[in-house]
Structure 1
């Protein structure tokens, strides 16, 4: 067994301080957890047909394999962050990761539809405990400045590429093994993260306090209803009775939540966080960016499979340019942020994202991958990396330790809501454009070509609105005061 002195001597010979190595391992543990959670938002998508056949899901119930996770994850995020503040972030982080792993194992072993849906709910609870505390732990383990910026860049890159990696991995596992492995794959990751976290991740002191039960209840009900309303709108319509009821409940619950938070001494989310113009602007930009990004995943995956005839596995690999571009730009942004400041990076990122999205508005049934999809993916990936790093840095910048969990939760909640809202809006645009085109289609098309024409036309219209989202990002960044770099200790 090596002694501390021996460890110090070994580290000096290798040129790496023990603290540096501990930080590297801490980052790996935290990012591995976040990647696992993000993967689960898409890895199940390509396995849905196999799941439906194996467990005899009805077409309407099958959507709950996705929605049960998204709804629970989004609804409980604020509560998970507050629990970390009071009970200890490392403890709640570990508990969430272990719950995620256990329910993943149980879901993979499920033999009835209700079993898998219950396990997906359990995964959502675990993710809601782990994700906001992962971000809070990252800020606690890396001091503000270049170290934290690089760490947040890696975390943001994992967030960005997780969706496309999930499509690739889901296709591989479903094709070469079984749909059950899209659940089982989480188990070794969860066990490894839970085992290594206490050794390498520094858990800051707890902030003694009490749970704001009224705030937690209204926040959970309000966010769950809001997410459900968006999901219902994207699958049915904005005028659907259940959609309107969900939005009505969300308005009532979130209004009660705001009232409760304004008068309680220990709120789930201190309103001072969202009252800061710089931080509120950051949340808005995250919402717009994630809304366009996840709609791109959704529509492009369908185009590749339905129009170009790609298999699930090939469609997953088709997203590699986006992942590579995002990884490259996120790492460069981490290095350049302290030198150039956030504003130039974000303006360039918005131009690249907007260019990629505008390129997709030219989509038609005759578009092929090399000329009409590859380029937009690469541009969009490069742009997202330059946007997400400064945004994630700003979301947690200059936050006191007692508010770290709440600020991290709000950043993750904004991204969840942005993805759900953006998808619901753009699916509605897609449906309206497709129906309008169906009334006056080009003549001489056979049924398959007509279907491809309507799909591509609707998607091009949706991408036009998504381009508007990115344009709004550019204008907000361009017309607001220059953003301070991390070393200036100012947010966006």
Structure 2
């Protein structure tokens, strides 16, 4: 499931070419994949309690395989979105909470921390393999083979799933349908609002389909999503007060460690998916790299994430989760700043590689801690629910990361193009006004040659197209830099939410041990 996202990230250019679409559509597919998982994760965890965690683990894998096969065979981008974003996303929403609960049920104390460190390591391995393997397969053959291979892999996992012991006992089936609809609807509205902000505008309307009170539709959609989520929490409290089984026991969110862990997970994936959207756009659109070359550039991130996740699980007994997570966030902020500094017309290979390695180091440290923190903060009977919350937070962060960073990049690109065109004395006033009209209608990240062809087709004077393309190319670098600096800022803003994470374990002194005896 990690492999999927990384393959899509390095295959953006090929997907755009194969389906004759644009970067924004592939951004939509990536966002929807994470959004579907986030929206259905709580429901998936609760269904696992009703049906049995191991059984729903297998059922979810079958659904996931159907989605992978549909994606591999997709003739249009619409079928790709249906198979990957929706069917695979729904399968993952059943698998992941069950996975978290099965691991938690079979381990305790330090062994659980090591188990989640191993899971973080395997996630790192997926990220390590994904860009390189996916990039190679995409460049030499087609990205479709990756998804066809997942079907074979799922069959293997199901065949070996008899090794897994399910300690949980199925509960009577009493699904909170209203709660499921409210949670999915609220999350969807928030993410769609953020996703469309680059097109609609945040407040000042751009290509907004309607303009309530003269404003863009974006804040109204996001506000509606927040209102639906408020209704969801109210419904869950009322349902529990009446003695009925809620989709989410809201009282668990009163646990400070759980809230801090979930907030940190959201920030982790928001930053990581934002980086994994911005960097491939830089490498493929402005540097002209193919999927395999992009995978090679992302390899330092993948390797360091794998190593840091494995090492971080062993450091928790000495330093505590809070210090390790904070070190990870500071490392990510430093990395994003370094990468932003390297965003130039020519790739600065060594500083860029160092920055990507630091991204892997920081995210690996976070991944080694947060899963165990969340699952260990609740009693055994709430582990499926906590697993659902864990992956809801992660995938909400993922969908927001792609949507939010993408919208900031587009907004910065638009502003920079208009600013550079206004400053260029070689561009006529009439051409500037024509440029403003085109940019206001929507602008995307495309290679300079494609931008030149589009400008000529739109009727721009041929003698001024070169100046406009130069301005557009420079504006692309500005937009990508803004995306990376936004990721750095989010990492720093996330530091305060870590204050309730477990600190360094206290070591008993000899005097305390004697007193205890």
Q: Give the match for residue 144 of structure 1.
A: 109
Is the alpha carbon distance of 1:294 and 1:473 closer, same or farther for their aligned partners in structure 2, counting shifts above 3 Å? same
Q: Give the match for residue 228 of structure 2.
A: 253
**Residue 475 (structure 2) aligned to one of 433, 447, 454:** 454
Is the alpha carbon distance of 1:460 and 1:164 closer, same or farther for their aligned partners in structure 2, counting shifts above 3 Å? farther
Asked if 2 retains the 8 angstrom alpha-carbon contact of 1:97 and 1:130, the reply is yes
1:179, 1:333 → 2: CA distance?
33
**Residue 188 (structure 1) aligned to one of 148, 152, 168:** 152
**Looking at CA atoms only, which structure, 1 or 2, has the larger radius of gyration?**
2
Asked if 2 retains the 8 angstrom alpha-carbon contact of 1:230 and 1:420, the reply is no
Asked if 2 retains the 8 angstrom alpha-carbon contact of 1:353 and 1:384, the reply is yes
For 1:65-76, what aligned pairs fall within 5 Å after superposition?
65-76=29-40
The answer as to 2:190 corresponding to 1:170 is no
Is the alpha carbon distance of 1:233 and 1:166 closer, same or farther for their aligned partners in structure 2, counting shifts above 3 Å? farther
1:60, 1:304 → 2: CA distance?
16
Which deviations, in whole Å up to 9, do the C-alpha atoms of 1:336-392 show, x marking residues without a partner? 112222233223222322211221232342452423311111112112212222222
2:194, 2:15 → 1: CA distance?
24
Q: Give the match for residue 118 of structure 2.
A: 154
What TM-score do the two structures reach when normalised by structure 2? 0.79
2:260, 2:41 → 1: CA distance?
20
Between 370-379 and 74-83, the greater mean CA deviation after superposition = 370-379
Between 49-58 and 109-118, the greater mean CA deviation after superposition = 49-58
Following superposition, the deviation at residue 163 of structure 1 comes to 4.5
Is the alpha carbon distance of 1:485 and 1:290 closer, same or farther for their aligned partners in structure 2, counting shifts above 3 Å? farther
Is the alpha carbon distance of 1:325 and 1:110 closer, same or farther for their aligned partners in structure 2, counting shifts above 3 Å? closer
For 1:269-348, what aligned pairs fall within 5 Å after superposition?
269-348=248-327
Q: Give the match for residue 368 of structure 1.
A: 347
**Residue 105 (structure 1) aligned to one of 69, 72, 79:** 69
Is the alpha carbon distance of 1:88 and 1:417 closer, same or farther for their aligned partners in structure 2, counting shifts above 3 Å? same
The number of equivalent residue pairs is: 450
2:24, 2:363 → 1: CA distance?
34
Following superposition, the deviation at residue 182 of structure 1 comes to 2.9
Provide structure 1 residue ranges, at least 5 long, that are not aligned to the other structure.
1-36
For 1:48-59, what aligned pairs fall within 5 Å after superposition?
50=14
**Residue 239 (structure 2) aligned to one of 229, 251, 264:** 264
Asked if 2 retains the 8 angstrom alpha-carbon contact of 1:363 and 1:459, the reply is no
SS in 1 for 2:342: coil
Is the alpha carbon distance of 1:125 and 1:64 closer, same or farther for their aligned partners in structure 2, counting shifts above 3 Å? same
Q: Give the match for residue 464 of structure 1.
A: 485
Provide structure 2 residue ranges, at least 5 long, that are not aligned to the other structure.
210-216, 427-465, 509-517
Which deviations, in whole Å up to 9, do the C-alpha atoms of 1:129-170 show, x marking residues without a partner? 11121112111122232x111211122233355446433333
Q: Give the match for residue 53 of structure 2.
A: 89
For 1:224-235, what aligned pairs fall within 5 Å after superposition?
224-234=188-198
What TM-score do the two structures reach when normalised by structure 1? 0.82
Following superposition, the deviation at residue 45 of structure 1 comes to 4.3
Following superposition, the deviation at residue 471 of structure 1 comes to 1.4
2:182, 2:359 → 1: CA distance?
37
Is the alpha carbon distance of 1:201 and 1:226 closer, same or farther for their aligned partners in structure 2, counting shifts above 3 Å? farther
Cα RMSD, aligned residues only: 2.9
Which deviations, in whole Å up to 9, do the C-alpha atoms of 1:278-324 show, x marking residues without a partner? 21122112222221211111111111122332221100121110111
